[in-house]
Structure 1
Amino acid sequence: MSVDQHDIHRDAVVADTHNDLLMAVSARPPRQWASFFREQWLPQLTDGGVDVQVLPVFIDDAYRPEGALRQTLRMIECAHMLAEGNADAVRICLDGAQIDEALALGKIALVLAMESMPGLDASVELISTVHRLGVRVASIAHWGRTALADGSGQDGTGSRLTSHGVEALQEMERLGMIFDVSHLGASGVGHVLELAARPVIATHSSARALRDHHRNLTDDQLRAIASGGGVVCVNFLAAFLTMDARAATIDHLVDHIEHVAGVAGIDHVGLGPDFMREVHLDLTPPCCEGFSYSEIDAMAAIPGLEGPRGLPLVTESLLKHGFSDDEIVKIVGGNVMRLFRAELGRGGR
């Protein structure tokens, strides 16, 4: 990377809106949470230039349904403990002002999120509980069906949000939590965009026009998210970028970023890497009892983008593809920061 390329990445606010590292950290005994994060993940985030890290709480199938709420609380506690144990380097932030304060102090701003909310199910009143615990971004479905909505793996049903799902959207907007449409079924995305009074985010979704996968967003969806002031953060996983995941390169990723920027506008695209290979490697036995990720598909990740350390390569590639410095600053984090400053933690509207 040239000096100029390095300077752009270093000087920009880099925001990663989806890294499942809490799965890996919380799999260790609680006494190791802070130290494992410091040894395994903090150096990667620092080397990658990450300034804002959204931390989703994802509940693995082994905990569903009976243990989902307990594991949800355990992972939220893990996030607080790793932050307290590394207070010199990171801070959990509840709104845009706190993010700016953390950045001014040279710390990585952590934003808690929930992916699918399986531990809450139809108990919409518990959204207020997790909000009190620091959660500021949330989705209401994953691959399958929940009490709130169908995930994208159920697109054939053509279903919209359930009545509880509608209540969940309204409650999140009341509290100042940003609604995440990633993983939501196509009809559910449309329903949310009909009802939403505030901007939404897609924390880790790519362009369906380039890769026809149910996890990706159509051009109409991209335009609708942008028209409401939202941001679409592009997923790095190779399988969502091209049919031949084994041949995926960073150029495929930039193609998706360029497409989203062209359809939604340069002010509405960000980065949602979803570094699952790195997380799964951390969970592969014998390191952690109870997990069975014995086979890691090395082709799920673009070479060089297996983890946060590779993020400067994205800036380098964007420059090679002709994006201007100002456009790159927006893509790598500026657009997400604009959304977070305007909406994060701002309830009551």
Structure 2
Amino acid sequence: MRVSTSYRFAVLAAFGLAASPLAAQETPEEVAAAALEAAPVWDGHNDVPIQLRARFGNEIGDFDFVDTLDTETAERKAMHSDIVRLRQGKVGAQWWSVYVSASLDEPEAVQMTLEQIDVTKRLIAQNPDALQLALTADDVEDAIANGRIASLMGMEGGHSIGNSLAVLRQMYDLGARYMTLTHGRTLDWADSATDAPRHGGLNEFGMDVVREMNRIGMLVDLSHVSEAAMHDALDVARAPVIFSHSGARAVTGHLRNVPDSVLERLPLNGGIVMVVALPWFINEDLRNHAANRAAEQARLEALYAGLPDEVEALMAKWDAENREPVSTISDMADHIDHIREVAGIDHIGIGGDYDGMPHGPVGMEDVTGYPALFEELARRGYSQADLEKISMRNMLRVMREAEAYAASQSGAAPIEYPAGADRDPKD
């Protein structure tokens, strides 16, 4: 067989590149940098909007989001996020959480969620050179191509819809593109991971919430829900689910994390776990230390009721004798390793939870730390293609698949309940 000269040169060139000592010696830093250049981080959860409410009452006319290091006060540490540091952290797309407290009465929660959507849109509009509102996967790619951080909105907790599928649909129309089914409290239709269960997961109305979210193209977020509710949602879902900010329960036993029984189901569903940076969720020693400290506080308050100064002094002694463990980047990487082992590389993302926690792990205290995490993963043998999936491409696929399913249901009627009956979910 005659082989062309150009073909021989191509083969030799390819062999030379593969055998090149320079290629073989590509450093973890270089692998991580190349991955984040090609596919910057699409982060699953950031709580800047609730910081705007807590710090400024949502009055942001004079707020400078370019640099927030000057936001530290006697009561609050500086914010974790701003445009300069998001750029340093190689964040290309951000889910902004329009969270409000689950302790609110539902009508108030609905109103406050609307206000959080409003303030998030105003923040984006005030920074047009850096932020761009994104409602679709195409919008995300367009924003990044324009050199802006794609800005999406997710609701954190089904209390934000007030037991109403009509409100759910209107929140979608206003731009919310995911909803975490619960936050810290069990709802009339869904059990929380950190509250007493009432439904054994989701009741029938809760399953209809998942069905309607799939129909309209809103992503179902299962962070914060009970294990039974995770399984119920996966039973019903016809589009990929997400965990916007969770770890692996087999690594750290916090109930906010995802058990292996659920991780094993993700390949069939197509969903992803966006791994959280919150130290108490990713370091078992730290989680146990927090529990022991809370128990000691309760013990002393029972022993010295009415003597707060004595309790404070004894707690200071306990703290000095029981130093808090330290969480590191390695802890977060361990969770990624475990999810890869159980669910596979196609089912991992990143969901830091910055500005919704006291601080991140050492080396990832704020949003600038993502490159260090990806360097650690590269040191562990993750390829550039692997890292691109984790940083952005898995989330992009999930959103496209959710959009495709919604498009396939364009002729399907909305799920309806008689007016007022949405508040009487069916068990």
Per the normalisation by structure 2, the TM-score is: 0.73
Name the counterpart of 1:215. Answer: 256
Name the counterpart of 1:320. Answer: 379
Name the counterpart of 1:302. Answer: 361
Q: Distance in 2 between matches of 1:69 and 1:158?
A: 23
Q: 1:32 aligns with which of 60, 82, 85?
A: 60
Q: CA deviation at 1:30?
A: 4.3
Name the counterpart of 2:329. Answer: 250
Identity of aligned residues (%): 29
Deviation per residue, 1:213-269 (Å, 9 max, x gap): 211111120121221111111111111112222222111110100100111110110
Q: CA deviation at 1:110?
A: 0.9
Q: Give the secondary-structure state (helix, strand or coil) at the position aligned to 2:245.
A: coil
Q: Provide the alpha-carbon RMSD of the alignment.
A: 2.1
Whether 2:334 is the aligned partner of 1:265: answer no
Query: Is the CA contact (8 Å cut-off) linking 1:177 and 1:345 kept in structure 2?
Result: no
Q: Distance in 2 between matches of 1:155 and 1:225?
A: 26
Q: 1:10 aligns with which of 37, 44, 67?
A: 37
Q: 2:111 aligns with which of 57, 62, 70?
A: 70
Q: Distance in 1 between matches of 2:154 and 2:114?
A: 12
Structure with bigger gyration radius: 2
Query: Is the CA contact (8 Å cut-off) linking 1:236 and 1:301 kept in structure 2?
Result: yes
Name the counterpart of 1:334. Answer: 393
Name the counterpart of 1:129. Answer: 170
Name the counterpart of 1:160. Answer: 201
Q: Distance in 2 between matches of 1:25 and 1:343?
A: 30
Q: Distance in 2 between matches of 1:101 and 1:217?
A: 32
Name the counterpart of 2:180. Answer: 139
Name the counterpart of 1:92. Answer: 133
Paired residues for 1:107-126 under 5 Å: 107-126=148-167
Name the counterpart of 2:402. Answer: 343
Query: Is the CA contact (8 Å cut-off) linking 2:326 and 2:362 kept in structure 1?
Result: no
Q: Distance in 1 between matches of 2:150 and 2:203?
A: 34
Paired residues for 1:35-54 under 5 Å: 35-40=63-68, 41-54=82-95
Q: CA deviation at 1:31?
A: 4.4
CA separation of 1:139/1:2 partners in 2, compared to 1, >3 Å: closer, same or farther? closer
Q: Give the secondary-structure state (helix, strand or coil) at the position aligned to 2:129.
A: coil
Q: Distance in 2 between matches of 1:64 and 1:39?
A: 35
Letter in 2 for 1:16: D
Letter in 2 for 1:256: H
Whether 2:259 is the aligned partner of 1:200: answer no
Letter in 1 for 2:116: M
Deviation per residue, 1:149-176 (Å, 9 max, x gap): 0110136556121232122111111110
Q: 2:47 aligns with which of 20, 42, 52?
A: 20
CA separation of 1:89/1:194 partners in 2, compared to 1, >3 Å: closer, same or farther? same
Structure 1's unaligned 5+ residue stretches are 281-295
CA separation of 1:269/1:5 partners in 2, compared to 1, >3 Å: closer, same or farther? closer
Q: Distance in 2 between matches of 1:34 and 1:91?
A: 20
Structure 2's unaligned 5+ residue stretches are 1-27, 69-81, 287-324, 410-427
Name the counterpart of 1:283. Answer: none
Name the counterpart of 1:291. Answer: none
Deviation per residue, 1:30-68 (Å, 9 max, x gap): 442583333322112111110010011111357444521
Q: Give the secondary-structure state (helix, strand or coil) at the position aligned to 2:169.
A: helix
Letter in 2 for 1:309: T
Q: Distance in 2 between matches of 1:4 and 1:171?
A: 41
CA separation of 1:7/1:126 partners in 2, compared to 1, >3 Å: closer, same or farther? same
Q: Distance in 2 between matches of 1:323 and 1:34?
A: 43
Deviation per residue, 1:64-92 (Å, 9 max, x gap): 44521221011000111111111121111
Per the normalisation by structure 1, the TM-score is: 0.88
Q: 1:225 aligns with which of 263, 266, 290?
A: 266
Q: CA deviation at 1:314?
A: 0.7
Letter in 2 for 1:166: M
Deviation per residue, 1:141-200 (Å, 9 max, x gap): 112211230110136556121232122111111110110011111111111111111111
